[in-house]
Amino acid sequence: MAREMKNSGVQWIGEIPSNWNTIQLKRHSHVVSGKEVKVELEPEDENAVPVYGSGGVFKYTDREQYNGEVVMFGRKGTIGKPLYVNDSFWAVDTMYFLIHERAYLFPKFNYYQLSAFNWELYTTQTALPSIVASQILDSKFPFPPLSEQKSIADFLDAKCGEIDGLLADLDAEVKTLTEYKKSIIAETVTRGLNPNAPMKSSGILWAESIPAHWGVEKFRYKLKPKKIVGQGDKEVLSVYREYGVVIKSSRDDNHNRTSEDTSNYKYVQPNDFVINKMKAWQGSMGVSNYEGIVSPAYFVYSFRDEDYLPKFFHYYMRNANNIPEYRRLSGGIREGQWDLSPYDLGNMPIILPPIDEQIEIANYLDSKCAAIDQAITDKTQQIETLKAYKSSLIYEYVTGKKQVAL
CATH number for domain 5-144, candidates 1.10.260.40, 3.90.220.20, 2.60.40.3080, 3.30.1330.60 = 3.90.220.20
CB contact set of 334 (below 8 Å; sequence gap of 6+)? none
Assigned architecture for domain 215-352: Alpha-Beta Complex (3.90)
Q: What is the pLDDT of residue 88?
A: 96
Q: What is the pLDDT of residue 322?
A: 92
Q: What is the pLDDT of residue 250?
A: 87
Residue 7 neighbours by CB distance under 10 Å: 9
Q: What is the pLDDT of residue 127?
A: 62
- Kindly tell me if the per-residue pLDDT of 80 is higher than 90: no
- Kindly tell me if the per-residue pLDDT of 245 is higher than 70: yes
Q: What is the pLDDT of residue 176?
A: 98
Mean per-residue pLDDT for 390-404?
Answer: 96
Mean per-residue pLDDT for 38-43?
Answer: 93
pTM: 0.84
Mean per-residue pLDDT for 339-364?
Answer: 95
Could you tell me where in the chain the CATH 3.90.220.20 domains are found?
5-144, 215-352
Mean per-residue pLDDT for 68-87?
Answer: 91
More confident residue, 129 or 225: 225
Mean per-residue pLDDT for 276-282?
Answer: 90
- Kindly tell me if the per-residue pLDDT of 7 is higher than 70: yes
The tens digit of pLDDT for each residue in 122-143 reads 766 666 677 888 888 999 999 9
Q: What is the pLDDT of residue 253?
A: 74
Query: In this prediction, what percent of the chain has a pLDDT beyond 90?
Result: 78
Read off φ and ψ for residue 177, nearest 5 degrees.
-65, -40
Q: What is the pLDDT of residue 128?
A: 66
Decide: 267 and 231 in contact? Cβ < 8 Å: yes
More confident residue, 389 or 123: 389
Task: For residue 258, name the pLDDT band (cuts at 50, 70, 90).
Answer: confident
Q: What is the pLDDT of residue 284?
A: 93
Residue 268 neighbours by CB distance under 10 Å: 26
If you average pLDDT over every residue of the chain, what do you get?
A: 92
Task: For residue 2, name the pLDDT band (cuts at 50, 70, 90).
Answer: confident
Mean per-residue pLDDT for 75-81?
Answer: 84
More confident residue, 215 or 119: 215
- Kindly tell me if the per-residue pLDDT of 249 is higher than 90: no
SS3 of the chain = CCCCEEECCCCCCCEEECCCEEEEHHHCEEEEECCCCCCCECCCCCCCEEEEECCEEEEEECCCCEEEEEEEEECECCCEEEEEEEEEEEECCCEEEEEECCCCCCHHHHHHHHHHCCHHHCCCCCCCCECCHHHHHHCEEEECCHHHHHHHHHHHHHHHHHHHHHHHHHHHHHHHHHHHHHHHHHHHHHHCCCCCCCEEEEEECCEEEEECCCEEEEHHHHEEECCCCCCCCCCEEEEECCCEEEEHHHCCCCCCCCCCCCCCCEEECCCCEEEECCCHHHCCEEECCCCEEECCCEEEEEECCCCCCHHHHHHHHCCHHHHHHHHHCEECCCCCCCEECHHHHHCCEEEECCHHHHHHHHHHHHHHHHHHHHHHHHHHHHHHHHHHHHHHHHHHHHCCCCCCCC
- Kindly tell me if the per-residue pLDDT of 273 is higher than 90: yes
- Kindly tell me if the per-residue pLDDT of 336 is higher than 70: no
